[in-house]
Structure 1
Amino acid sequence: MNNTVEQIDADHNVLSPVKVTGDAQEMLHEVVPAKKTAPQPHYRDTVGQDGELPLAPRLILALKKRTEKAPNYYGEPGQGDARLVSVISVIGFICLWALVTEAGWIKPLFLPSPISVVERLGDLVVNGFSGVSLGEHLLASLTRVFGAFALAAITAIPLGILIGTNVWVRGVLDPLIEFYRPLPPLAYLPLVIIWLGIDETSKITLIFLAMFAPIALSARAGVSSAKSEQIQAAYSMGASKFQVLYHVIIKSAMPEILTGLRIGIGFGWTTLVASEMVAAQAGIGYMVLNAAEFLVTDVVIAGIIIIGLIAYSFDLFMRWLEKKLVPWKGY
């Protein structure tokens, strides 16, 4: 053996620098195994340990550690808690809004400052608008939207399930729904007025039609979520057609149905303003339109904020309801 070994530290089991090649090197590896190194911690777990990092990267790493929950570092995309990021983004948007308005970059006629909008909201709570209190405006709009939503839910969901499960019903109703679904509500608003007049019936009907199509189509799409293996297994265990429909098909369609309800209520809020264009005396949409005619921009923005907060609160409720009713969603 031509190669030489300078020193082997037997106490620490560490191999000193050697000059070996070929078979001698393999023999030395058998005598002195390579030293194992501990796995390095993930960078999210080392936040705050490196004091040399600038402040901004440290804040970003701390935010990532707070939002991205272990052990899903390399799991499904989008996992984690985004509430902190949402709060920061909303605060940042409000600060940007205040900056551009207080600095005079945008005139108050086009975009009032957040302080002005908050003051106007307080004035609306105390004095109302156009001789009607804010509570009456809210009650009128909520009655129209959620009244139409209830009617759409109790009619569109059963029809959507029938469309998905019965070829005859699908042949009759599917073309009609697909025909009017892309039409904007303002397109058939004159026809609704001609048929039903200008009272509350026409307003609720217009919102109902805007909600009906997405809810029905979501229920129809949900029916296809039931796998044929599940249906055949239920029949093989002696289940009746009604039991298969309820326990297999409808429960498989529940995630799609709840998603359709969330989409439908969104269409309802967007149609509310159009429905309150016609002979309305109260309502948030009416308030926004009336204020726009007189260029009262702070009332317009205040009304938009009210509609957005109510719609977002209902959407959060629907998300909570979805977790309770369909905890198996995504599995």
Structure 2
Amino acid sequence: MADTTLQLEARRPADAVVAPGLSWGRFIGVATILGLLLLWALASALAWTSPVFLPSPARVWDALVRAATIGYANATLVEHMAASLWRVGAALGCTLAVGVPVGLLIATSRIGRGILDPLVEFIRPLPPLAYLPLIIIWCGIGEPSKVLVISIAMLAPIVISTVSGVRAAGESQIRAARSFGATRGQLLREVMLPAALPSIFTGLRIALGAGWTTLVAAELVAATRGLGYMIQSAAQFLVTDMVIAGILMISALATVSEFFLRWIERRFLPWIGKQ
């Protein structure tokens, strides 16, 4: 009982120190965003640039409202967002289904490492626009080609983070599990994969950013809906306010997905960051 009390007392000063720091960091972030918005509005009001190059925040807001109510490029803003979310979500699911097993094979098997590691290293530095023509030739111009382009962009971060997480598993844990007669499959499920989860989630967040970055390129492939398609359609006619509105919506969706992943980490992996 005394030991528990001492441990609780030892934690209180750290909590008291961390909370103000987090609040101050949030304040700085909000102040930075407000400062950029103010500078943007000032530049538009003083006509430092042409509205064609930089429309005012009010015009961008009007474009958002117009896209949400009337629609733009044959769909409303919600329909464009839903199409983009589906593509990124489907690509993420496919990438996890492939990337985590590939990472486990590379980390635990010499044969797997010899076969798969060169392929991952070959794909990793390639920009999506480089292999986009091949994807169109192989898969056509339907939804599978769009999802595949995003999936390839997401694959390397998931694989590399899985490999790193498995290799970070403690040798003492592995030896202890083997001493109790754990099979290779049990080692993977009960020791290596749980140890790799923090690293996998880090790779997942990086991969999600890569997926949103690739979205515009993916929606070049005969898309009729999607935020990337909306941006491309607006850019062709120099509708800059709609271009910026689409960019802001992609950023908003990416931010929401990032916070959602952080919530999952706190809810199901509370030990991350406390080891």
TM-score, length of structure 1 as denominator length = 0.75
Deviation per CA, 1:251-274, whole angstroms, max 9, x where unpaired?
110011001111111111111101
Tell me the secondary structure at the aligned position of residue 22 of structure 2: coil
Q: Counterpart of 1:188 in structure 2: which amino acid?
A: Y
Partner of 2:224: 281
- 5 Å-filtered alignment, 1:113-152, equals 113-152=56-95
Deviation per CA, 1:12-43, whole angstroms, max 9, x where unpaired?
xxxxxxxxxxxxxxxxxxxxxxxxxxxxxxxx
Contact residue 168 and residue 196 of structure 2 kept, 8 A: yes
Gaps of 5+ in 2: 1-13
- 5 Å-filtered alignment, 1:49-198, equals 70-71=16-17, 80-81=22-23, 82-198=25-141
Question: Alpha-carbon deviation of 1:289?
Answer: 0.7
| Match status 1:205 vs 2:148 | yes
| Match status 1:267 vs 2:210 | yes
Contact residue 67 and residue 77 of structure 2 kept, 8 A: yes
| Match status 1:328 vs 2:274 | no
Deviation per CA, 1:292-319, whole angstroms, max 9, x where unpaired?
1111000000000000000000001111
**Change beyond 3 A, Cα 1:248–1:79:** farther
Partner of 2:8: none
Q: Counterpart of 1:80 in structure 2: which amino acid?
A: L
| Match status 1:250 vs 2:193 | yes
- Relative contact order (alpha carbons < 8 A, sep ≥ 6): 1 or 2 greater? 2
d(CA) in 1 for partners of 2:167 and 2:205?
19
**Change beyond 3 A, Cα 1:79–1:153:** farther
Q: Counterpart of 2:271 in structure 1: which amino acid?
A: W
Over the aligned positions, Cα root-mean-square deviation in angstroms equals: 1.8
Contact residue 69 and residue 79 of structure 1 kept, 8 A: no
Contact residue 269 and residue 311 of structure 1 kept, 8 A: yes
d(CA) in 2 for partners of 1:301 and 1:89?
19
d(CA) in 2 for partners of 1:198 and 1:131?
19
Tell me the secondary structure at the aligned position of residue 47 of structure 2: coil
Partner of 1:221: 164
Tell me the secondary structure at the aligned position of residue 16 of structure 2: coil
Question: Alpha-carbon deviation of 1:247?
Answer: 2.2
Q: Counterpart of 2:87 in structure 1: which amino acid?
A: R
Question: Alpha-carbon deviation of 1:244?
Answer: 2.3
* Larger radius of gyration between Structure 1 and Structure 2: 1
TM-score, length of structure 2 as denominator length = 0.89
Contact residue 69 and residue 80 of structure 1 kept, 8 A: no
Gaps of 5+ in 1: 1-67
**Change beyond 3 A, Cα 1:302–1:71:** closer
**Change beyond 3 A, Cα 1:258–1:72:** closer
Question: Alpha-carbon deviation of 1:98?
Answer: 0.8
Contact residue 74 and residue 224 of structure 2 kept, 8 A: no
Q: Counterpart of 2:118 in structure 1: which amino acid?
A: P
Tell me the secondary structure at the aligned position of residue 243 of structure 2: helix
d(CA) in 2 for partners of 1:110 and 1:69?
47
Partner of 1:304: 247
**Change beyond 3 A, Cα 1:312–1:71:** closer
d(CA) in 2 for partners of 1:167 and 1:196?
32
**Change beyond 3 A, Cα 1:197–1:72:** closer
Aligned length: 260
d(CA) in 1 for partners of 2:130 and 2:156?
15
